[in-house]
Amino acid sequence: MRKLVLVVFLSLPIGPAAFAADEDVAAPPPEGEAIPASAPAVGDAVVAEPLPAPAAPVAADAGVPAPPAAADAGVPAAPPSAPAPAGLTLFRLDMEDGFAVHPWIYREERLNDRWGVLFDLTFQAPGMNDRLPPYAELDVGPVLHLGDLSINPQVGIDCVWQDGAAGGRSRFADVLAELYLIYSTPKLNAESWNLYFFPLRNGDPQLFQMRQLVTVHVIGGLGLGPHVEATWIRGVGVDRAAFGGDLAYAGDWGQVLVFLADESKRDRMEMRLTYLKAL
């Protein structure tokens, strides 16, 4: 499969996002009323005491400090508007069967806690794999962050420099409609990748590619889980179906993933080695 995105969120997250919530400003507590002295017993004489004379007004410049402001009186002030989260830059390098090298660079610019804009650029050198033609691809789209879920529709365009077995594309080959769903927590990462290729040259087929995976963090930086990929070609049907899994290990240096799968249409094993690093 030619397209892979991670949110690191790589969150992603591509991560994940928090929602700013307004805090209620607590009103100051009511002034306490003076507690009267005990009422006299029945039969006691009540002696009325003269009321004290009112205090003379104090001039504003007589050295008496002004009453404290609301913030100093224990009343919390309204919280300031939270700044937009920092953007994320992610580097990814895939090595496919036959030493095909596939580098990616992702950049998400965060607009606020909920919205961002993602750009990615990727290239491919086929190595000894004649099913992967050399190409370049540019994609852009908004990212909606809903807690641990990121929704990222994209539009892209790819260029291929020579005809290859995967669709026979050349030059500006396809316009891509894409949708990525990424759910990421400290214990679980689930991704759904869906790409539809609309060819720009008559005679080239329309393609649909998808990738569905779940990785569970087991212990430390180790994770594993199921992983399925497929390619559908208009007029041909399912051209590739790979059923397998991922083994992942992460540290301060980045993350390494190994994808192993049984490609049922050609009855062979597939392997992909991936390195990810947030920059």
E strand spans, 23-87: none
pLDDT category, 72, cuts 50, 70, 90? very low
Task: Look at residue 163 in the predicted model and tell me its pLDDT.
Answer: 53
Say if residue 27 is exposed, middle or buried (CB neighbours under 10 Å; 0-12, 13-18, 19+).
Answer: exposed
pLDDT over threshold 80, residue 6: no
Closest CA to 8 of 225, 191, 259, 214: 191
Which fold, 90-278?
Porin (2.40.160)
Taking CA 97 as the corner, what is the angle to CA 91 and CA 100, rounded to the nearest 5 degrees? 50
Q: Which residues of 35-63 are buried (b: 16+ CB within 10 A; e: fewer)?
A: eeeeeeeeeeeeeeeeeeeeeeeeeeeee
Model's pTM, two decimal places?
A: 0.68
pLDDT over threshold 90, residue 185: yes
Closest CA to 94 of 259, 278, 217: 259
Task: Look at residue 132 in the predicted model and tell me its pLDDT.
Answer: 75
Domain boundaries, the chain: 90-278
DSSP output for 157-195: EEEESS--TTT---EEEEEEEEEEEEEE-SSEEEEEEEE
Do the beta carbons of residue 207 and residue 198 sit within 8 Å? no
Neighbours of 255 (CB within 10 A): 19
Quick one: tokens of 29?
A: 């507590």
Taking only Cα atoms into account, the Rg of the chain, rounded to an integer number of angstroms, comes to 32
Residue owning tokens 């995976």: 213
- Give tens-digit pLDDT for 223-251: 999 999 999 999 999 999 999 999 999 99
**What gap in Å lies between CA 174 and CA 221, rounded to an integer?**
38
Closest CA to 1 of 100, 89, 139: 100
Average pLDDT, rounded, for the chain: 77
CA distances from 136 to 37, 150, 205, 219, 265 (A): 88, 25, 18, 37, 27
DSSP output for 100-114: -EEEEEEEEEE-SSS
**What gap in Å lies between CA 254 and CA 138, rounded to an integer?**
24
Do the beta carbons of residue 137 and residue 121 sit within 8 Å? yes
More confident residue, 51 or 259: 259
**What gap in Å lies between CA 40 and CA 55, rounded to an integer?**
29
- Give tens-digit pLDDT for 99-109: 889 999 999 99
State what percent of residues in the chain have pLDDT above 90.
54
pLDDT over threshold 70, residue 67: no
Residue type, 159: C
Query: Which stretch of DSSP H or E encloses residue 47?
Result: none
Least confident of 70-79, 81-90, 176-185, 233-242: 70-79
